Structure 1
Amino acid sequence: MLTDTRDWHAPPLKLPEQPAAWYQLAAIGGWQAVVADTAHPVAHDVLAARCDNRPGQTQGWGELPYAVPVLCAAATASGVQALQQAAMVLHAEGMPLQRVVVVLVAATDGRPAPVVRAAATMLAARTSAVVHLPFDPQIRAHGLREPLRTRSKTRQAAARIAAAVLDTAHHAWGTPLPAAPIPVPLPHPVAPAS
């Protein structure tokens, strides 16, 4: 996982936008897994790409070998509404919803609202998994600089998210997963004969 220890409110790092660049980073480093955390507007990107008659960034992420998209949304009425719309757009474009893991992030303590539970039921039937991430004031205030101070329910939910991603990958590509790709070395330039 590529991450940093900056403050929660710090602006995002400047990272490659092209999904294939992330795939190459993983291949070059020989990593078994890369977690790319983006604030990518999925539905907007798909619709804009369709209007412009070009491949979108979302399509690029979906077409990567062994990619398991994880869509996160606030566990609120507006959050799940936006997520449901994104799921419908992805489905209409033929994107692999069966390889998508959904994470509903609680904004407060307590049981999710009925609209959130209903949306989770609808999404569970169309996606690989739906996981609820409980509210954790430690993460909201300090990010993951002190991971041992997070609530046990948060750590359990994180384990469920990781398990859902791994189960999705196994279902899509088999068990055990294929070996990580090895980049093909570039040929050495040959000096012209004089």
Structure 2
Amino acid sequence: MTLPAHSRVLVPVLGATGGSSRSTAAGLLARSFAAAGSSVVLDTASRLASPWPSWPNQSGSGLVSLPPDRPFTREQAQAAASTFPAEGSRTWSVLTDHREWHQGQLALPEAPAAWYQLAAGGGWQAVVADTTHLVAHDIVTARTGGSAGLTAAWCSLPFSVPVLCALATGPGVAALQTAIKAAAAEGLPLQRSVVVLSSPGEGRIPAAVKAAATMLQSLVAAVVMVPFDPHIRTHGLADSERLGRRTKEAGDTAVAAVLAAAHRTWGDPLSPAPTPAALPAGPTPDPAQPVSEGGLTT
């Protein structure tokens, strides 16, 4: 299945707790999406809390080269991205921070729309956002505070198909079920959401996880199981071409579920994606120079 040239699918990868295998799910999705069109992972975590800087086969110039208050070209955005191999000669990209650990943290934007515009400016067709906030906490906090919240903002972006992640354990699916109850109460689009459950080890899937997966089937678009992969346990997504066959197939299944949900919601083929407004013309940004507090550089 190939994405139309002017379409764009956004996949915010969300978790109810820390350690939900969000980054692994994001990478598997981007890798499999490479067969349908150009794909990118947006690493929204601060550098010292993110696994992405240590994983790429080929590092780009990084987020520091793309301050959000200065204009950039599509070529500059793509040069900032790191690349990973997919099947054949295909690759997938990651926008992350590659500076040394002792340098100051980038002031990353929180607004999902800012990340969407960054990816759209780079021309990627499949945009996978590796988020960091906890879904249930965010929804409840936003509800009591009378605000929209990050989860709702990610879900409201054009052609957004959320992916909810959890470990395939009793506590993991229990936290996910709570998050889904909160999402349902808030009216978030569960009908086009995909659940990804990742096995933390070898052996049979616990009965509680099987029961939860069966229950979730009627609430979301699809439930996908990712098997335990020794390579991921040892190396993460570094050398991702060495992932197990069943792991790669799980990524393909998840992408097929995301695209099926998108087509049910917006039609097949997908309509052209909105084009973000261009920034005012100006000089080419110098990554060595500081920008304002809300920017991507320090």
Matched, 1:47 2:140: yes
**In 2: Cα distance, 1:143 partner to 1:17 partner:** 26
Question: Aligned partners of 2:201, 2:237: CA distance in 1, in Å?
Answer: 18
Of 191, 195, 199, the match for 1:98: 191
Distance 2:167 2:113 in 1: 28
Tell which has more relative contact order, 1 or 2 (C-alpha 8 A, sep 6+): 2
Residue type of the partner of 1:84? Answer: Q
Q: CA deviation at 1:181?
A: 2.1
- Structure 1 residue runs of 5 or longer lacking an equivalent are 190-194
In the alignment, structure 1 residue 26 sits paired with structure 2 residue 74? no
Shift of 1:175: 0.6
2:54 is the counterpart of 1:6: yes
User: Which residue does 2:70 correspond to in 1?
Assistant: none
Deviation at 1:149, TM superposition (A): 1.5
Partner of 1:138: 231
- Partner of 2:54, secondary structure, is coil
Post-superposition shift, 1:185? 3.5
Alignment partner of 1:183: what SS?
A: coil
Cα drift, residue 119 of structure 1: 0.3
Mapped contact 1:30–1:181 kept (Cα < 8 A): no
Residue 152 (structure 2) aligned to one of 59, 78, 85: 59
Identity %: 53
Task: After superposing the two structures, state which structure 1 stretch, 24-33 or 58-67, moved more.
Answer: 24-33
More strand by share: 2
Q: Superposition RMSD on alpha carbons, in Å?
A: 2.1
Asked if the contact 1:103–1:132 (Cα under 8 Å) also holds between the matched residues in 2, the reply is: yes
Partner of residue 192, structure 1:
none
Q: How does 1:45-194 map to 2 (within 5 A)?
A: 45-185=138-278
Give the superposition deviation at 1:169.
0.9
User: Secondary structure in 2 aligned to 1:175?
Assistant: coil
Q: Distance in 2 between matches of 1:92 and 1:153?
A: 35
What residue ranges of structure 2 are gaps of 5+ in the alignment?
1-39, 44-51, 57-95, 98-105, 283-298
Select the structure that is richer in helix.
1
CA deviation digits over 1:96-148, x for unaligned, max 9?
10111000000111221110000001111100100000001101211111122
Q: Distance in 2 between matches of 1:39 and 1:182?
A: 26
- Spell out, residue by residue over 1:84-105, the C-alpha distance to the aligned partner (whole angstroms, 9 max, x if none): 0100110011111011100000
TM-score by length of 2: 0.59
Q: Secondary structure at the match of 1:125?
A: coil
Q: Helix, strand or coil for the counterpart of 1:36? A: strand
Of stretches 94-103 and 26-35 in structure 1, the one that deviates more from structure 2 is 26-35
Conserved? CA contact 1:26–1:33, under 8 Å: no
Q: For the residues of structure 1 that align with 2:281 and 2:179, how far apart are their CA atoms?
A: 45
Q: 1:66-86 CA distances to partner (integer Å, 9 max, x unpaired)?
A: 011111100000000000010
Per the alignment, do residues 108 and 51 of structure 1 end up closer, same or farther by CA in structure 2, a change over 3 Å counting? same
Residues 136 and 182, structure 2, Cα contact 8 Å, conserved in 1: yes
Structure 1 residue 7, shift from structure 2 partner: 5.2
SS in 2 for 1:39: strand
AA partner of residue 256 (structure 2): A
Relative to the length of structure 1, the TM-score reads 0.88
**Alpha-carbon distance in structure 2 between the residues aligned to 1:188 and 1:114:** 59
